[in-house]
Amino acid sequence: MADAIAPNNDVTFTIAKPPRREAERKTIQRLMRLQPDVQRGLNKLARKRKLHDNRYVTRAGVDWVIRVKTTKLTRVEPGETFTIRVTPQIINDIKSVEKYLDAKIAS
């Protein structure tokens, strides 16, 4: 797996086993959100929330926004795959959860 994790490579990761700690699950989910199609979906949902779902309430003459929680578009389950471009900024995140991931260079 170390040869696949090099900067500027597109790498396909498959979740081999579920992470044991919540922090590891969040790290994998953060990596999964780096996919371009997931980012497009998140931007679309954020726009919809901003325009329609958030509520505005006046308290003491000041407008407050009651924000709706974000939708999770990814699931961390064994067998799920995702393809991302590895950059130097995310190599440490990948190495911290590499025992739960199988990696191969995307073609």
Tell me what pLDDT residue 90 has: 94
- Quote the tokens at residue 81: 């795959």
pTM, to two decimals: 0.84
**Is residue 44 pLDDT above 70, yes or no?**
yes
Integer Cα distance of 95 and 91 in angstroms: 6
Side-chain-side CA neighbours of 33 within 13 Å: the count stands at 12
Q: What is the DSSP letter of 100?
A: G
29: nearest Cα among 91, 106, 97 = 97
- Quote the tokens at residue 1: 């797996």
Is residue 13 classed as helix, strand or coil in its secondary structure? Answer: strand
56-86 per-position pLDDT tens digit:
999 999 999 999 998 899 999 999 999 999 9
Is residue 43 classed as helix, strand or coil in its secondary structure? Answer: helix
1-22 per-position pLDDT tens digit:
666 678 888 999 999 999 999 9
Spatial neighbors of 24 by CB under 8 A, at least 6 apart, are 96, 97, 100
Tell me what pLDDT residue 5 has: 79
**Is residue 31 pLDDT above 90, yes or no?**
yes
Is residue 104 classed as helix, strand or coil in its secondary structure? Answer: strand
